[in-house]
Amino acid sequence: MLAIDLREKRVLVAGVADDGGFGFAIARSLAEAGASVCVGTWPPAMKIFTTMLERGKFDKSLVLSSGEKMAFDAIYPMDADYDAYDEIPEEVRQSRRYRDHGDVSIAGVADRLKSDFGEQPLDIVVHSLANGPEVKNPLIETSRKGYLAAIGASAYSFTSMVQRLGPLVKPGGAFLALTYMASERVVPGYGGGMSSAKAALESDIRVLAYEAGRRWNHRVNVISAGPYASRAASAIGFIDQMIEYTTHNAPLAEPITAAEVGNTAAFLCSPLAAGITGTTIYVDKGYHAMGVAVDRKE
């Protein structure tokens, strides 16, 4: 039997703050394959996330196929807008949602991982992060500040994670990010520079696959997922229409599930995908293959 086996592997999934998004689904699939899972959570969402965990609000989602309950090795406060502690503005450090967390930068999380688990504590790193403060603005109305914020949070943060976490991943490790087809085709309403950020992320994946491959023998890939009504995606404002449109026009006329993305991630991060790097894998029911929209319902 050919099976995904990630036993004795440790994973960091950055961008988990509830049980409804791709980050959680990926963490769950990796745990199903036997991996130990750490997560990085945005500091303003940290207390809500941990409180809901403690109160059992996510218990149903945490149950694995074996009947066991997934547990996190560690939950780290992480704000990927900041590469190092000295880049965090003083007013942010002292704000109510940050002041008790210490160093929430990417470098800070790297230091905590080494302190908790040793010099090379990781085998897999997943980037499930995106933010565009002006995502509802058409690109032509997006400010420079909003555009650069989208690029920084949604694209450069992955480069920063590879840079700072690459040495912490055992040789032959795997890095994975998430993208969306707006990187290559126009999706009206997906604005604020987010389409540019996703295009930059996909370009960076290819370059980082070469650089991290030659430096550490790590693999670097990205999943292009179809639209999914996570809490974060709902901020776009028309996610339901996006799902309806792609479902109607995809070769497989059904919405994607978070589990499908999670299972693809588990494969890409496993030894079964040892020959795959620098690649965009579509999990969108084949919508990306369509050149003409279906003009009638069957």
SS3 call for 93: helix
CA 159 vs CA 119, 149, 204, 211: distances in Å: 20, 15, 7, 11
Q: Which of 147, 190, 228, 287 is catalytic?
A: 190
Q: Which of 82, 156, 180, 228 is catalytic?
A: 180
d(CA 31, CA 13): 11
Is 82 among the catalytic positions?
Answer: no
Cα–Cα distance for residue pair 40/27, rounded to 1 Å: 11
Q: What is the DSSP letter of 20?
A: S
Cα distances (Å, whole numbers) of residue 1 to 67, 123, 127, 146: 21, 24, 30, 50
Does the active-site annotation cover 180?
Answer: yes
Residues whose CB falls within 8 Å of the CB of residue 11, separated by 6 or more in sequence, listed in order: 27, 30, 35, 36, 37, 38, 122, 123, 124, 125, 126, 269
14 strand-pairing partners: 40, 127
Tell me which residues are annotated as active site: 180, 190
